[in-house]
Chain A
Amino acid sequence: MSYTPEMRESIKKVEATRPTRLHETFPMMSPQEKQAILEKFHPDYKAESMREIRVGVSKGHRMPLELADVMEGASHLTSDLLDLERIDYDTDVLIIGGGGAGSSAALLARENGAKVIIANKLRHGDANTMMAQGGIQAADKPNDSPAIHYLDVMGGGHFANYPELVEVLVKDAPLVIKWLEDLGCMFDKEPDGTMRTIHGGGTSRKRMHSARDYSGAEIMRTLRDEVRSYPEDITVLEFAPAIELIMDDKGQVAGAVLLNMETGEHLVVRAKCTILATGGSGRLHYQGFATTNHYGATGDGLVLAYRVGAKLAFLDTMQYHPTGAAYPEQIVGLLVTEKVRGLGAQVCNIDGEQFVYPRETRDVEASAIIRECTERGKGVTTPSGMVGVWLDSPMIDLLHGPGTIERALPAMVRQFDRFDIDITKEPILVYPTLHYQNGGISLKPDGSTGVPNLFAAGEISGGVHGRNRLMGNSLLEVTVFGRRAGKAAALRAKEVKLGKLTLSHVDKWQRELEEAGIENPIKSPILLPDYRRKLR
């Protein structure tokens, strides 16, 4: 699976320019150039790829076609299908989705006195959080401050972010890193304990904390192990996704219906408060893009929340990560972490020329790569017809000393080595890939959603990142807002008096679909993507 002779020819040119490039950095774009390239090349700016949603509280909100179809879907249930008097689980706080946000929420909810259930679609921890490689931001160095972090977040998000959310994000950041350190997370440190931090796209200070390039995995497995320390207080259900929220006759959210995916049985969970932490939606493959996301990233929580009246924010912006693998075929779309550029690797075209500053914000960087591969025709074509550009990974060892790549990027080295590509010696072919849902359910700083007793945290939410998230602010968001939602839900649960459970909102939703003339809607949430070959 190593590179083809044609690709090797191009690699020779990359190698030839390397010695000079080591001392040159391509200039950053001006604000005007950035705007122009976004409008012309970023997938979000393709008008025909989006449409307005025709029903619900955020009627008229624009989003990708694929998401709109799912959001306007019909329920798997009707109100007469289930006897809600027969309750399978009764709890204070129900958390839907056990990634980083859900697990953080569970721990804080427990700490604040709640009995908790985490309902997972896959196994606990099979989640986007597990896949994050690059790291997590926090302004904890003397030359940095929460205010400087604030400015970076706002600028990265094109100043559309909700300021009150950004404020708590940057202010809680060092607290969260400390919390994780105390839970036993092995961050990369200098011998004296100083956090080893580097730049990420759009950062003005080196504040990216990492755990080799298994940063998300290290955080996820630590949180999961901590959750498992309290089996009396936190019940973990697996392969039991939520397929609808339950309400009560007072108009409050009161739990969810889960589906045992293996037996088809429906389970009724009654909960005083419910936290949605189902993550993103990369597996909807907007505009046919490959994705970095895990198998369960199908936007389920957005669907559930919207049917009970939660408002949406910024769902017309998706993040395309500039460097998805473009070769070999077997791993197309998988992430090549931004840390590779953070450590100094440059991006080059087929002739080995730089064409973009390597650490522009993701949307700008991705647009520049798309321009190089389309309008300028300077991409490298693979046998399967993918086009990509080179990410010159071998530079890293030249800049920081031999062995740096293996030490700092073991997951990347292994990923490519499995297909006979040695990224310490050869560059990596990359092309933008669908990575992150910038928007979602409109959130308040305590994790509440405006719908009584419904909270949300993590990638499912919208507002923190405005129109574009910076690397390392998402692992931060899931821990910051997971903790906040967990605490707020536990405290709120102490006051909640639930009424009679009902699914009447589902019938109402059905009528709305009919009135809007939406015919043959798909059933949603879709739960899993379907990659089966069409069988006879």
Chain B
Amino acid sequence: MAEELIPIFIMGKKYMVPSSLTIMKAMEYAGYQLIRGVGCRGGFCGACATVYRLPGDYRLQIGLACQTVVKPGMYLAQIPFYPARRADYCLAELEPTFQTVVKTYPELLRCLSCGTCTKVCPQGIDVKQYMADAMRGDIAAVADRSFDCIMCGLCVSRCPAEEVQPNIAILCRRLYGKYLSPRAEHLAERVAEIEAGKFDDDLAKMKSLSEEELRKMYNERDIEPE
């Protein structure tokens, strides 16, 4: 059975494409060899931000081209690049405070809490809320709430206050990860042991074993229970 073809408009030009395709595959079906606007093809890299409208609907809609199925009459364009400033900073020189965040991104305080960013986020993140968390200086909350951000830039493209939300979010996540989250003590201890050469003999011995001996050890090794 031939698959149903539906019309879509890529940057205003009409193409007939199979109705089951994602926007990305539909563009390729139409004949585009993508260079920009494509990366992981799996919803992780944020390279494929796309805006579109549907017939009879005034609303501007958004989606990831690799994760959104085409609809009849879809009128679309990709935003493969959107200028967003990354402030000049070096994490090691910062302190995990509200002042740091505001000094690094002074525009933070211009946020109007309009919520447009939350509406467009393809990850379903409450962007407005993490911006509010940032304005309150709650770095841990920003880190947690923004964790699934794939830095696609859609919120940046629609923000009336010209914010760079994903850049503020990653600053907060890194501040949290380095300074605020509890340290893994067992890790630091293991690093010290390794540096003191504690495992060198064990490893040298393992390396000297024949394949037979290793195989036997492997098949008899005990496995930590669930």
Contacts and interface: CB of A to CB of B under 8 A. Distances in A.
A343 to B, nearest CB: 10
Nearest to A174: B190
A139 B39 contact: no
Q: Is the interface of A mostly helix, strand, loop or mixed?
A: loop
A335 interface: yes
B170 to A, nearest CB: 6
A499 interface: no
A222 B185 contact: no
Nearest to A180: B177
A192 B150 CA distance: 28
Interface in A403-418: 410-411, 414-415, 418
A230 to B, nearest CB: 8
B202 A186 contact: no
B182 A191 contact: yes
Interface stretch (B24-32, B105-113, B156-164): B24-32
Contact of B38 (A218, A295, A418): A295
- Contact residues on B (Cβ < 8 Å of other chain), bracket: 35 or more
Contacts of A4: none
A451 B199 CA distance: 32
A500 to B, nearest CB: 34
Contact of A185 (B31, B177, B186, B194): B177
Interface string A216-244: 11100110011011110000000100000
Contact of B173 (A150, A184, A295): A184
Given A181-B184, A414-B124, A31 B219 contact: yes
A25 B86 CA distance: 50
Interface string B154-178: 0000000000000000100111111
B77 interface: no
A532 B32 contact: yes
Contact of B194 (A143, A171, A194, A533): A171
A294 B41 contact: yes
A174 to B, nearest CB: 4
A205 B222 CA distance: 9
Contact of B182 (A125, A193, A214, A221): A193
A97 interface: no
Contacts of A183: 91, 174, 177-178
B222 A204 contact: yes
B174 A184 contact: yes
A186 B184 contact: no
A341 to B, nearest CB: 12
B43 A178 contact: no
A126 B47 contact: yes
Contacts of B173: 184, 186
A171 B199 CA distance: 8
Given A151-B214, A294-B40, A199 B25 contact: no
Given A151-B218, A184-B173, A411 B124 contact: no
A403 B29 CA distance: 40
B21 interface: yes
Given A150-B206, A151-B214, 9 more contacts: A31-B219, A130-B44, A131-B42, A155-B218, A159-B215, A184-B174, A185-B177, A212-B147, A411-B44
Interface of B: 20-22, 25, 28-36, 38-45, 47, 67-69, 86, 88-91, 123-124, 143, 147-148, 150-151, 170, 173-178, 181-188, 190-191, 194, 199, 202-203, 205-207, 211, 214-215, 217-219, 221-224, 226
28 contacts: A126-B47, A127-B39, A130-B44, A142-B186, A145-B199, A145-B202, A146-B199, A148-B221, A178-B187, A183-B91, A184-B176, A184-B178, A189-B184, A192-B182, A204-B221, A204-B222, A212-B147, A212-B148, A222-B177, A225-B91, A295-B41, A334-B41, A410-B147, A411-B43, A414-B148, A418-B67, A532-B31, A533-B30
Those 3 A-B pairs whose CB atoms lie nearest each other, nearest first? A184-B174, A126-B39, A193-B182
